[in-house]
Amino acid sequence: MMAWVESFSHALQSTRLSWAVAGGYPWIWPMCETLHFIGMGLLVGIVGILDLRMLGVAREIVPGPLERLIPWAIGGFILNLVTGFLFFAGDPFQYIHNTVFWLKLLFIVLAGLNALAFYVTGIARRVDALRPGEPAPPSAKFIAATSLVLWIGVIYWGRMLPFLGGAF
């Protein structure tokens, strides 16, 4: 696995894309950082509202109609996937030997699995049917709390990249 990551990183680093992100075009890195924060706000802001509602905050909100904003959260996620890949392409070796980077990826995968569990177990359908003020079932509260911890954890690992792992 690690050998494959190493050779992929070598190949990636020799591309013109990597050169451009790493400073060939000096505006690319700051622009991607800005967009990465915008994507973070959209993704965790919107998912966070749904999570908080299930946990009993802003309980008048009806989750069904709120979920029409989820495409915007997915848009934020895709934006961050793209900009995140560009950071990686710019300097892969500062990430692949960095434990914090792998923890961030692990938390993203776990958050994705948690969201998947929300939909495939039918909990989402029960949450969609909640009326204003009606408490969410305990299973939904568990998923919501897990989601908040994982996404805030993703932000934590992302912010810790320069401090715990020496990446920027």
Q: Supply the minimum distance, in Å, between the C-beta of residue 140 and other proteins.
A: 17
Whose CA is closest to 66, among 55, 53, 79? 53
Give every CB contact of residue 43 below 8 A, 6+ residues apart in sequence: 73, 74, 76, 77, 80, 151
Residue 20 found at the interface with other proteins (CB under 8 A): no
Beta carbon nearer to other proteins, 44 or 108: 44
Contact (CB, 8 A) for 132 and 63: no
Residue 59 found at the interface with other proteins (CB under 8 A): yes
Residue 61 found at the interface with other proteins (CB under 8 A): yes
Among 33, 81, 113, 128, binds other proteins (CB under 8 A): 33
The Cβ of residue 165 has, within 10 Å, a number of other Cβ atoms equal to 19
Enumerate binding residues for other proteins (CB under 8 A): 26, 29-30, 33-34, 37-38, 40-46, 48-49, 52, 57-62, 64-69, 72, 132, 152, 155-156, 158-160, 162-164, 168
